[in-house]
Amino acid sequence: MSLFVALWPSPPVRGQLESAVRAARPTARGLRWSPPRERHLTLVFLGEVGGRLPELTRALDRALAGRPALDLSLEDWGTFPLRADRAAVLWAGVGGEGLHELAEVLGEAARATGVPVASRPFVPHITLARARPPRDAAETLRALGPAPSADWSVDRVDLVESRPGDPDRYRTVRTWGLLWGSDSQRAPERGTS
C-alpha cells in the first residue's frame, strides 16, 4: 500500500488552475497533464508502509491533534528540476502560514514509526503535468500567464493510497479535521474503504 498525506484545493481553485492549463495546452507537446480531480498538495510522501499502517495512523492522530485550519493561496508556477529548460514536472506553487510546519510535523511523526520519509526540502505545490523525458517548459510557463489569485481554506488532511493504473487512482484511507479558531469544533474524522 503506497501512501501520502495530502491537502486538496477547493473546487474554485481547481477551476482556475484548469482555465490556466487550457490556455497553455497548445504549447505543451510532450506533457502529460494531471486530471483536475487528482490535483493535490502532498505534505508527506510515505511510499509503501506495509504493516506499519496502524502505528502510522496513531502517530498522525497525535501530530494532527489540535492543529488549526490553514488559509492557502496559489503563488506561482514552477518546475522540477528548477531549470525550466529541462522540466520533468510543471507545478503551481502554494503558500500559507503553518504549511511548512505541518509538513515537518507529519514527516517527523511518520519517521518515528519507521516509515522512511525523504529529507529533501518541502516545496509546497500542486502538480499540473509531467514530462518523460524532461523537456523545455519555458514557453508553457509563459502561456500559463500569471498565477491565478486564488485563496482557499483547508479544514482537513487526508491519508491517501495511490493506486496507479486504477481508474480511481487515489483512495482516501483516513481523514483528520483541522480546527477553526480557538473555540471551534474539530471536523469529524472519517475513513473510507
Q: Tell me which residues are annotated as active site.
A: 40, 125
Q: What count of other Cβ atoms lies within 10 Å of the Cβ of residue 23?
A: 13
CA distance 178 to 185: 9
CA distance 28 to 25: 5
Whether the Cβ atoms of residue 32 and residue 130 lie closer than 8 Å to each other: yes
Q: What residues have CB less than 8 Å from 35, skipping those under 6 apart?
A: none
CA distance 36 to 14: 6
| Residue at 69: amino acid letter | A
Closest CA to 139 of 31, 40, 18: 31
Q: Which three cell numbers stand for residue 53?
A: 499502517
